[in-house]
Every structure is written in C-alpha cells, then in structure tokens.
Structure 1
Amino acid sequence: MGSELGITASTAELIDLSPVSIWWATWACVWTLAVVSGATFLIINRNAPTLRIRGLGLSLSAIGLLHLYWAVCQFGTMIGAILPGDAQYWIMGTFLPLGLSLFHASNARFLHVAKLQKKYAQYGHKLFEVKPEGSPKGLINRFRALNYNTKVFIIVGIGMFVQVFLTILMWVISRKFHSSWGIPGTEVHGSAMAQKTAQGSGWEWWPGVAYQLLWAWIIAPIVLWKSRHINDTQGWRTQTIGCALANLHGTPMWLIGLYVPAMAPVNAVWIPPQWICLSIWFMEIFTIFVPCYEVIRSQSLRKETLDSIARWELKVKSSGSEEKSLNSASTMVESFMSGWKSTNDSIKSNGSRDSIMTMHALEHVLERNPTPLQEFSALREFSGENIAFLTGVAEWKNSLPAILKDGTCDGPSKGAVRESFNCALHLYAKFISVRHAEFPLNISSQDLTNLDHIFEKPTRLLYGDERETNPVSPFDKFTFDLPSPALTDSSEKGLKPTSTEIKDRVQYWGQIPEEFCATVFDDAEKSIKYLVLTNTWPKFIKDRRTSIESFETLKPGMDV
C-alpha cells in the first residue's frame, strides 16, 4: 500500500532536491503564473458578452481552491517527507471538495441559462409572466419555489458541510493522527516516518473519495447528458464536456496509485494525487484559457466586422449613389435570408459580404424578419434579450401616441401617454433594471443611470426590491428565476396589453416623469444595436452561410 505523497517508512525526513522534484516545483510556478495571467485577463474583460453571463466570481473562486490543492501536490515529492502527517489529509479534505462543489455549481449555470434563454426563442419580448397566487405548501414545494441560485447554494452548501464535517469526524475518531485519544485499535505503530506513511491512506480518506466520485461520476455526467442538444457559439458546452470527461479518471487512478503495489515505480515520479491534479489541469484549461480564446476571437470578429463596414461605406461614397447601394444591400439580405441558390454564389464576393455586415442589413432583418436572428441569439449566443429588446422597442415606438411622437412630452398625462409609459416601464423592468431583469442589457453606466432616473422608482413601486445588485457586475448576484409556465392566450398577441393582462399585472398610476418621451430608449437601443452588429450578427451570418452551403452540397444527392 502506498502513501498520498509517495513516501515510505525508509524515506529520509529531508527536502528532496532530486531532478524530478525540481521539475515539478518549476512546473508549479510556471503554470501558476499562466493561470493567474489568464484569470487576470478574464477579470479585465469581464464585461465582454462571452464572459458577462458566465459568473466569473463563482468559477474563479472554484479554480482558486482547486489550484491551491494542485500546487501543494506539485511540491509533494519535494516536501512530502517534512510535512506533518495529516497536512495532506486536511488539504484534500477541504480545498479539493470545496473547489469541486463550487466548480460544478458554476458549471450547472450553463444549463440554467440555456433553459431561460429558450423563452426568447419562443416568445421574444411578448412573454408576459403570470405568477401563481399564494405561497407553496410543504417543504419540498417551498424549496422548488426558490430561485435558482438559492437552490444551488443550498444543495452545494449542504454537500460542503457534510464533507467538511466527515473530514473532521474521521480525524477526531482515528488515533492514526493522534495516539492519545480516539477509537482504540485505529492507531499505527513504528517509526515516525512509518506512522506518517500510514497516515497517507486508509479508511479515514473514504468520505472525500465518495464525494469526488459523486461529482465526477454522477453529477458531471448528468450535466453532460442534459447539455447534449445545446450548441452554443461561446465555447461553454465545450468547456462543460471537457471538464466532465477530464474528471472521470482522477479518483480511480488515485486509488490505484495508493493501493496497487505495482504502482510504486510510478509513484516515485508521479505521486497518486497528481492523477487528480491532471483533472484539475484540464479543468483550468477549459475554464480559464478557453474563455480567453473566445474573448480574443470575439475581439477579432468585431474588428473584422468594422473593417467590412468601413469598406462598404467607402464603396458607397465612391459610387455616389447611396440609395441604390442600400436597395441593393436590402435585396441581397432578403435573398440571403431566404437561402436562394441564385444569390448564394454572389454572396461569396467581398462586396456582398461587406453589404450584409452593415447596420442597414441588420436593421432590415430586425424590421422584416427578426425570428431567425432571435432564435440564433437565444439558442446559440445566449443573448436573446438583445434582439427581444430591439424588437420590443421598435413595436413600442410604432404604438406611441402623436403627443409623444411630436416631442410634446410636457403635455397632460392622457390615457394614451400613460399606457405608453406603462409599456416602457415593463420594457425597462424586463430588459434593463439590474434588480428585476433576468438578463440585464449590457449598456453603458451613463445610459443605465439615465433610465434608472426615469423608471427605477416606478419599477420599485410595482415590483418591490427584488434583489441587491452591483450595477458594475449585475450577473454576479443573479437569481435567474424561471417564469411561471402559465401563459394567457393573449401573451403572444403583441406588446400592447389587453384588459385581461392588465388585471394580471399592476399598472403605474403615479406621476409620469417629465423626462419620459419617445426617445427615452434611443441611446440604449443604439448601444445594443452596435453590440449585436459587432458580436451576434457576424456569427449569425457565418452560421447562415454555412447552412446554405451545406444545403447546396447535399442538394445534388437529394435530386438523384
């Protein structure tokens, strides 16, 4: 039987400065520097669309705990002989399980976000929530009624408490770690190094083993199975698959290294916990460096899009016929969206590609047929709130009364103006408010402050203080509550509420702020349009083009 840090009864109680030990110590320092650099890059770019929704606070906290365990193990062959006998027991019983718990809680967020985003693909901005009356009865029903984060933290918190409690209990009752008290018969005898070797394995470690197996062989495969139909463009599913598969070998190989005598030569250069460290290493790659790659790719795509727009604008100016160019671009977009073969070849030209990447092309699709873009942003980009907000604002503007369209915002608060204000209020609460929106829009702090000044007070009167949130990082404290599945038949009829819907939700009857007017959402709308143009739109175009080309490739075979 081996020991956790590869020591034996004959090992000298000295620091090991062999080439193997020096190599692992050097590797620990180099990789730690890389992980810190990657984490710093993510924190600096935390407002990037691909990161903003991930919840970096939770995932980086998990990686921090796991990396502490990983770093200690890399120094295991060097300092294992001089460490206290129960040092690695406490490290493995605390840092590792707590890190795994937080990591899988963060990873499960992927499924929940994907589930919530589906409503944008199905209903867009027209999903009016009908909350059930009364409070649920029974402990289980009350637990199910809690918001997502609360349920996750309760489950993970209970698991972490049980694991730490069992770790403490095993240490208390076993005389292997303290000979003066504990259960008789559990003590070990021999030299100091023999006792230290015996402390590196045994039944005291099994609660931690079971905990690791629970997460690696039960929870992770369940998450993996549930994510099988998700095909996002942000690398989140790739991260989930990679981390789940990387965890499978760790604990079994750790047990083999400890309890199979034939592994002794391997343990001399690769101690048993390094099998778990290999899993952690892959987890850090997928959690730190894959998102870094996605951010860099997103920045590159943004630059490419802006370059295409600049080329198109230069071409329009040189041609001297802007109206003709816009009409040509509109025709190209219509053909592209329909997937006609007659235009598929022409789309491949640089000029056509540039015209499709412009704001005019995006606005044309938003006005004529936003559904494909809405579905792509919700199911692939997890940013369905952006398109839903744009279509919602456009519909709201079309329904504005003349008194607001003319800019006479200081007129009397007539019924039409109040109705428009209530519709705007619901748009603000659903898409912008960091206290009430499930996915607050990524707009500038100045735009957010301006809208808060107009809508926040009425919103609190209607909805109350849902949660305390830092506007700088609103996703860090998201509850991500699932809306009630109960929908009225009128929920798909448009933005303008019917009498039935008015009864189902409270209306604001207070004084309408003087700043409220037809242009109240203009700055936020421009900001979101630019975000969609430089992030979601080029990905959508690329995906659409790939689908058209794939169809044309298969079509000859279909005609046979």
Structure 2
Amino acid sequence: MGSELGVTPDSKPEAVYSPVAIWWAVWAGVWTVAVGCGLAYLFVRRDSPVLRVRGIYLSLAAIILLHLYWASVQFGVMIGPIMPGDAQYWLMGTYLPIGIALFHASNTRFLHVAKMQKKYAQPDHHRALSYADARRQTGLYARFRRLDFDTRTLIVVGIAIVVQLFLTVLMWLISRKWHRTWGIPGTETHGTPMEQLTQMGQGWEWWSTIVGQFFWAWIVAPIVLWKARHIHDTQGWRVQTIGCVIANLPATPMWLIALYVPAFEVINPYWIPPQWICLSILVMEIFAVFLPCWEVMRHQSLRQETLDLIAQWEAKTKGTGNDAKSFSDVSTMIDSMMSGWKSTDGSIATKNTGRDSILTMGALEHVLERNPMPLQKFSALNDFSGENIAFLTSVAEWKNSLPKSIRDGSAPDNENTRELIHERYSRALHIYVEFISVRHAEFPVNISSQDLRRLEHIFEESARVVYGDEAKLEDPVTPFDKFTFDVPPSPTQTESSQRPIHLQPLESAARYGGDVPVPEDFDAKVFDDAEDSIKYLVLTNTWPKFIKTRRISTESADTLKPDGGDMA
C-alpha cells in the first residue's frame, strides 16, 4: 500500500512531472483564483443584508484554512516523493481540523439567528433577562453567558482546537516514526528512504485527526442538519448549510478506504487518498463562497427590479389626477392578497400594473398600518430581518402615543408637559436600546452612520445610566464590527399612521426616572430619518420577497381548490 500522498517503496526521490501531476497543479491555480475572487467579492459586499446576517468572517477564515490544505494536496502527486515525512501529518493535523471547526462554528450561527429571530414573530416580545439582572449574576459561567454568541462560539471551538492540536503534537512526540532519538520504542520506520517515507504517510499516529473529523462531520453536523429541518429562509443559508454538511459526511471514510484498502492502489497514483477530503472541501467552497455570491447578485437584481417597477408606477400615475383611485386600487389588491383570495379582476397575479403598484412604498405602509403581522412573521422566520418590521411598528406606536400638542410643539411649558415628555423619552429610550444601540440591541437595525451618531448623541448617555456600560448580551449580526452603510431616502415617501406590534419594555426601562435630563435635541421627529432608512431597506429587500411568497401561496391555494363545475 502507498502513503498519504501516493508514495510507494518503488517511488523515486524526485519531483514528478507527469501529465497527472501537471494537471493537478494547473487545476490548483485555476480553482484558487476562482475562490479568491469569490472571497474578495464577499468581503467587498459584506454590507449586503444577505451577508450581514451571516457574519461571514468565521466562514471566510474557515474557507481560507481549508483551501490552504486543499492546495497542498493538489501538489501531492508532484512533490510527494520529496516532501518531508511529517509535512502532510502537520497539514492534516492543523489546517484541516481548525478549518473544519471554524466552518461548523459558522454553521451554528444559522440556528442561533433563526432561534433569536423567532421572538419577532410574536405580537408581544421582550427579553427574558434584563441587563441589570444579568449583571447581578456572578461566576465564570454567568460571565460566559453574558458574552455575545460569536465570542462564546469561538471560545468553545478554540478549546476543541487546542485539544486537537495537543493530541496532534503528542502523537508526533511519542512516535519515533518521524524522529529516532526519542519516543516509544518500536515505533520506528525501517527500510530504504522511500519505504520509510511510505510508512510515515500512514499509521496509528493519525487517529486524533480522524476522530476530530468524525466528531465534526458525523456528530456536530447532523445535529445542525436536524435542527434546521423546519427552517425555510430566503437567504440561501439553509441550502448552504445542508450542502456543506452532506459534503462532509463521506470525506473521512473514503480517505481511510483509499489509504488502507488494496483495491484502491490502482486509483491512488491518479487520485491520492486525501483528494477525497479535498472533494468535500471543493463542494463546501461552492456552497459557502459561490452560493452567497449568487444570493448577493440576486438580491441586487431584485432591489433594482423593485426600484424600476416603482419608477414605472410613479410615471403612470404622475399628473393623472387619479392618485386617490390608484391608492384605493392598491389597498384592495393588498387586502385581497393578505386574506388569501384573489381580487375580482385577478389583478394580483396577472396584471403588470398590479405588480407595479403593489411594490410601492404606499402599499408597504398600508400593510404596516392595517395588518403588519404576516409581514412581521415572514421577515422574522424567513428573511431573518424581523427587527426591521418590529422597529417600524414600535416607532409608529410611539408616534401615535404622542399628544398632538407635543407633536406640533404647542404644549405649554409646565410640570405636566415635562412629566409627559419624560415618559415619552423613556419609551423612546427603550426603542433605541432594543433596536438601534450597537451596545445593547441583539439585532441592531442597519441605519446610516450619520443617523446612528445623532441618535447616540441623544440616547446613549441615558442608555448607559439605565442599562449600564456593559455591551449587549448577544450580537448575532455584527460580532466583529459595527459596520453601517448609508441608505438613500425613499423615492416614494408618504405619511401614514401605522398599527404597531405592542412591545413589552425591558424591566430596566421602567426604572428610568427624571434624574437624567431629556436632551434638547429630543423631539417627536427623533426617529424619522432612521424610520425612512429602514422603510426603504424593507421596500427593496424584504417586501418584494414577501409579495412573491404570498402570490405563490395564493396561486397554490387556487390550484388546489376545485372549480364550481366540478363541485356540482
């Protein structure tokens, strides 16, 4: 039998430049360029909602490490006979397990984000643990639980990696296969240099790497797969997770079979044993790099299509004097779609004008005002952006709670007015902490840096007084940076009152008193810019996906429903 890199006792101690070796070297270069371009594209587009919710840094780090191992194997046929005897042992004992561990750590984010988003699908949601209560808990475990999800994941995975590396180093030290001066007697290699090199490429010393791969591929990954079976997202994240998990399953068994089953000796000179692991890495790279790239492009295409349809609708209605009738038609179509029945003229599913109008800001605001729960559930359970709709409905509730005299600034300056403003500031502070603060919000809404700085100037000092200086308990979306991007104002901004989802305030918010003064910049329009940005983001991202899903659901129901003639 041959070694890990296909070396046999009959091999010559020189580089191999056969057509097979050259093919693998060229293939390594071509695929590396492709993967590198994909990684660069993902990094440049990291502000896209599709990638922002993923937290791609763990995934990118894992892919880079796995690709380093993959590339080294592609040159195995060419330089295997002249590589140091323990080179492949170290490559397989370091790059591969660390990359696999980081990759499965990034996969657990999928379950975590899906779990955390479920709360936004409820009409009344609140945090089960206030920050003050969290700070009162002591002990190492309590401190660990207060860390954000990615930090906790990195700690657990880091411990697993340290154990893996320790076992790898320990096996190398106690075996005399790679060094004759120390180790367990009887583990030495014998024979010619090529016979010794062949023996170094296999043996019991590799068990720690094998166990580690089986642990991640056959224990952790299937658990993730099982828990994700009822999750149906619009981001392609579930497809990515399933594809990578399935690709991992046969890798280690096939590597062992190719290494120790004599029948594979015919194949090994052309397809060395670790190529089976590399095949799974290649499939993982397709799902983890190129699938997200395609999702980003699809998102951009959908966004542009939505903007084009809005422009077409505005061009049709501008100057016709039928704005009221147009809005009435839109309302009728929206109500029909939300109730699950077609309108009488069938315009929901067929007419282009209906498609144009239903994607406008007016249609979105109509749903937010009349019946936001279906959109709220879709954004939380399918689009993983439930914080956006919850923020919009919370702001609408807060605005509607303001007396008219407060909104227009005509309220008299007396004790009752100041007390009322303090109470409304307390509610606004809760909205800031729940949805905007990068220190406290579990899913901070993605507003421009300018709007964020302005709101921080108004609320951050009070937030620290009420909730403390500690960072948020968990930040599933932006674990490594606080990246925000500027969102242009909506081209179809309109005014509407909205019926909100009622939110229970955090326990700590109830303790806010008058000892912290209300900033002078605070007024009824404090959230207007952020609200416009999030509305625009929802309009160009979540809203068209929601409309498409509702259309498909309605058409499926109509297909299954027998017509009147058949029923008679």
Residue from 528, 533, 545 that aligns with 1:527 = 533
Change (3 A) 1:518 1:139: closer
Query: Aligned-pair distance for 1:509?
Result: 3.2
**Aligned twin of 1:199:** 200
What is the RMSD computed on CA atoms of the aligned residues? 2.5
- Determine the structure 2 residue equivalent to 1:489: none
Tell me how far 1:494 sits from its aligned partner.
3.4
Pairing of 1:319-398 with structure 2 (within 5 A): 319-343=320-344, 345-347=346-348, 348-398=350-400
* Separation in 2, partners of 1:234, 1:343: 34
Whole-Å Cα distance in 1 between the matches of residues 247 and 45 of structure 2?
27
Structure 1 residues 256-300: Cα deviation after superposition (integer angstroms, max 9, x where no partner): 111011101111011111100011111111111111000000000
Pairwise CA distance, 1:185: 0.3
TM-score, normalization: structure 1?
0.92
Q: Which runs of 5+ in 1 are unaligned?
A: 479-491
Q: 1:331 to 1:234 in 2, by over 3 A?
A: same
The Cα shift of 1:192 comes to 1.3
Asked if the contact 2:126–2:504 (Cα under 8 Å) also holds between the matched residues in 1, the reply is no
Partners in 1 of 2:55 and 2:340 — Cα distance?
37
Q: How does 1:239-254 map to 2 (within 5 A)?
A: 239-254=240-255
Secondary structure of 2:81's partner? Answer: coil
**What is aligned with 1:223?**
224
Which residue identity is paired with 1:554?
L
Q: Distance in 2 between matches of 1:104 and 1:201?
A: 27
Offset, 1:179: 1.0
| Matched residue SS, 2:307 | helix
Q: Distance in 1 between matches of 2:90 and 2:454?
A: 52
1:257 is aligned to 258
Q: Which letter maps to 1:400?
A: L
Partner of 2:431: 427
Counterpart of 1:345 in 2: which secondary structure? coil
Quote how far apart the aligned CAs of 1:122 are. 1.1
Q: Residues of 2 paired with 1:290 and 1:548: CA distance?
A: 29
The Cα of 1:452 is off from its aligned counterpart by: 1.0
Q: Aligned runs of 1:38-49 on 2, under 5 Å?
A: 38-49=38-49
- TM-aligned CA distance change 1:255 to 1:496, over 3 Å: closer
Shift of 1:438: 0.6
- Report the CA distance between 1:345 and its aligned residue: 1.9
Q: What does residue 487 of structure 2 align with?
A: none
Q: 1:475 Cα shift?
A: 3.8
- Does the Cα contact within 8 Å between 1:174 and 1:204 map onto a contact in 2? yes
Which residue number in structure 1 is paired with residue 90 of structure 2?
90
Is 1:459 the counterpart of 2:463 in the alignment? yes
Which moves more between the two structures, 13-22 or 126-135? 126-135
C-alpha contact (below 8 Å) 1:423/1:496 kept by paired residues:
no
Secondary structure class of the residue paired with 1:319: coil
Deviation at 1:449, TM superposition (A): 1.0
The CA distance in 2 between the partners of 1:505 and 1:274, in whole Å, is 62
Q: Is the CA contact (8 Å cut-off) linking 2:89 and 2:201 kept in structure 1? A: yes
**Preserved contact between residue 9 and residue 198 of structure 2 (Cα < 8 Å):** yes
1:127 offset after TM fit, Å? 2.1
CA offsets 1:171-200 (integer angstroms, 9 cap, x no match)? 000000001111000001111111111110
> Residue 447 of structure 1: which of 448, 451, 461 is its match?
451
Q: CA deviation at 1:407?
A: 3.4
Letter of the 1:494 partner, please give it.
H
Number of residue-to-residue matches in the alignment: 542
> 2:21–2:75: 8 Å Cα contact kept in structure 1?
yes
Counterpart of 2:394, as a letter, is: G
1:251 to 1:106, Cα distance in 2 relative to 1, 3 A: same
Instruction: Say if 1:174 and 1:182, in contact at 8 Å, map to a contact too.
Output: yes
Contact in 1 for aligned 2:393/2:501 (Cα 8 Å): no
Q: Which residue of 1 aligns with 2:418?
A: 414
Q: For residue 520 of structure 1, what is the amino acid of its counterpart?
A: V
From the superposition, tell whether residues 11 and 386 of structure 1 become closer, same or farther in structure 2 (CA, over 3 Å): same
Q: Which residue of 1 aligns with 2:494?
A: none
**DSSP-derived class of the 1:30 partner:** helix
Check conservation: 1:336, 1:343, Cα contact below 8 A.
no
**Secondary structure at 2:562 match in 1:** helix
Does the 8 Å CA contact 1:2/1:257 hold for their aligned counterparts? no
- Give yes or no for contact 1:423–1:495 (8 Å, CA) kept in 2: no
Q: How does 1:121-270 map to 2 (within 5 A)?
A: 121-123=121-123, 126-127=125-126, 129-131=128-130, 147-270=148-271
- Return the match for 2:524 from 505, 518, 528: 518
Q: CA 1:24–1:508 in 2, change beyond 3 Å: closer, same or farther?
A: farther
- Contact 1:85 1:199 survives alignment (8 Å): yes
For the residues of structure 2 that align with 1:55 and 1:409, how far apart are their CA atoms?
46
**Unaligned runs of at least 5 residues, structure 2:** 483-499
User: TM-score, normalized by length of structure 2?
Assistant: 0.90
The residue that corresponds to 1:488 in the other structure is: none
The C-alpha deviation readout for 1:442-488, integer Å capped at 9, x for no partner, is 1111111111111111111222233399x9x934369xxxxxxxxxx
Mapped to 2, the partners of 1:285 and 1:109 lie a distance apart of 19
Q: How far does the alpha carbon of each residue in 1:140-196 deviate from its partner, in whole angstroms, 9 at most, with x for none?
A: 777667653343223211210110000000000000000111100000111111111
Task: Work out whether residues 467 and 508 of structure 2, in 8 Å CA contact, stay in contact via their aligned partners in 1.
Answer: no
Displacement of 1:556 in angstroms is 1.0
